[in-house]
Amino acid sequence: MSLLDSIIQQNIIAFSRLESVRSMEYFANPELLSQQLSVVSDFYLSFLQQLKFIPIGAYKLHHNGHYNLKEKKTDNKTILQAIQKINETEFHSNDIIPIQLRYSDKYNLHFVAGIVRIETKKSAAFHLVDLFLPKRLITSVPQNIGYVRDILNSYTKDMKDSKRTNSRKSIVEYVTSEGYYYNRFLKDFKAYFGDTFYSFILKKRIIEAVGDMIFTAKSLKVIAFENGFEGYKTMHKAFKRYEVPRSKIPKLV
């Protein structure tokens, strides 16, 4: 779940920094902002389900409207959670604040992301997407294999650093240097993430490349290189392998 949190956080921050999102056009017509957020969230839900990062059966709701930032009692728990999150920060009128949070109720995990535009000290315009992940669809994993997540995070960071130092280790060398048996690591990784290590890494690169396609003006060649592909053709093959058509990817820049 921490990986999904990271994907959501990275993308909602990128969305909030778009010049179009901060333009006066959206201030005058907030429905445009809600529509844009809906386009992006619709794509990501389908895209991440295609990669099996989100189970089929997950769904989303939108929460758009003006709310009192002093509200403490409401039946809308998502809005209440967002208000609490905003009130933990310092804000000023006309600030645009990216929101990303997670909470749980009896039946679902909620992943909430969106934009809040501060109007006054007491009111704000909310544009939120609430992803419902039914708990019955979540597979529990043994706690004693959580080390694979730590290795994934540190290895991914090491791969990025090695571009500058030209000292990249293979995953076999890396796992061994951390004191684990490689074959055991592969087995535990599959049990923890529900996917093989190499397939998971490839999907992660695709996700990061898609984010660049949506939120930046970088060329496809640069996007491929910066996200660990050997070149554009290799990235294209990866997209084709997982049936991710570039024509379906929204372009916001």
What does the DSSP assignment read for 175-190?
HHHTT--HHHHHHHHH
* Two structure tokens written together for 33: 């902002």
pLDDT at 165: 47
pLDDT at 124: 94
Q: Nearest 5 degrees, angle CA 148-CA 4-CA 61?
A: 155
**Contact at 8 Å (CB) between 180 and 154?**
no
Q: Is the dihedral of CA 5, 223, 154, 172 positive or negative?
A: positive
Pairing of strands 108-118, 96-104: antiparallel
The conformation of residue 195, written as its DSSP 8-state character, comes to S
> Measuring CA to CA, which residue among 72, 71, 117 is closest to residue 91?
117
pLDDT at 44: 97
Q: Which residue has the tokens 């959206």?
A: 26
Q: Give the Cα separation of 156 and 176 in Å (integer).
A: 16
pTM of the model: 0.91
Q: Give the Cα separation of 151 and 96 in Å (integer).
A: 36
> Measuring CA to CA, which residue among 70, 75, 64, 68 is closest to residue 126?
64
Residue 151 CB contacts under 8 Å (≥ 6 apart), including other chains: 174, 175, 178, 180, 185
Q: Nearest 5 degrees, angle CA 126-CA 130-CA 131?
A: 160
pLDDT at 21: 87
Each residue's pLDDT, cut to its tens digit, for the chain (253 residues) gives: 678 999 999 999 999 999 888 886 677 788 888 999 999 999 999 999 999 999 999 999 999 999 999 988 888 999 999 999 999 989 998 899 999 999 999 999 999 999 999 999 999 999 999 999 999 999 888 889 999 999 998 888 877 666 654 556 789 999 999 999 999 999 999 999 999 999 999 999 999 999 999 999 999 999 999 998 999 999 999 999 999 999 999 999 9
pLDDT at 58: 97
Class of the domain covering 143-248:
mainly alpha
